[in-house]
Amino acid sequence: MNPWLAPLLALAVAASAAAGAEPVKFSDALYAKFQDARCLQCHQFNSRRSNGRAWTSHRTRYLCENCHKPALTGLLGGEWMAPPGEKMDYTGYSARETCELIKRNTPTGDKAEVLSHHLLTDSRVLWAIKSGMTPAGRRPTMPGGYDEWARDVRAWVADGMICD
């Protein structure tokens, strides 16, 4: 048997299996992560519906950096903020509803590019995944860490951002 045949056959089988793989769906790859406290805490911050912190303990929300200083959070000045109003509060939503909300309310432009940028490079998202440091101490970061998060986001975007 040709010594190159076995590796080529294995590669062909792997490529065939990958080509027939199911596309990555939001419900499978990202929904549980979006329900993590680190995501919800910011995304419901300004939401009356979810009794976000802007309506309870953080009423002086315009003075955020008095406590959440750049030296503590690692963010540049002016970056410590939460989404406005209820526009991005997906608390209690199903996977499909959450996915449709984030796609619908993503700013104009190439949605895949805008979402990828926010989910993979936005300093606030990176804070939730890598740091979690607050004036009250370090909060648990998102399970799985950045590598798992980035892998899942990239796969979901590459497969067309399917909301099922």
Q: Residue 16 pLDDT > 60, yes or no?
A: no
> Quick count: other Cβ atoms within 10 Å of Cβ 151?
13
| Domain range annotation of the chain | 23-158
Q: What is the pLDDT of residue 84?
A: 61
- Helix, strand, or coil here: 22? coil
- Chain segment 23-80, per-residue pLDDT in tens: 999 899 898 888 877 767 665 555 555 445 554 555 555 566 666 667 777 767 666 6
For residue 162, give the nearest of 102, 109, 99 by alpha carbon. Answer: 99
User: CA 136, CA 119: separation in Å to the nearest integer?
Assistant: 25
Q: Which helix (H) or strand (E) holds 137?
A: strand 137-138
Judge contact between 29 and 156, C-beta under 8 A: yes
Q: Look at 28 and 132; give whichever has higher pLDDT.
A: 28
- Chain segment 133-161, per-residue pLDDT in tens: 776 777 777 788 899 999 999 999 999 99
Q: Residue 13 pLDDT > 60, yes or no?
A: no
Instruction: State the alpha helices, DSSP H only, in 44-158.
Output: 70-73, 95-104, 111-121, 123-126, 145-158
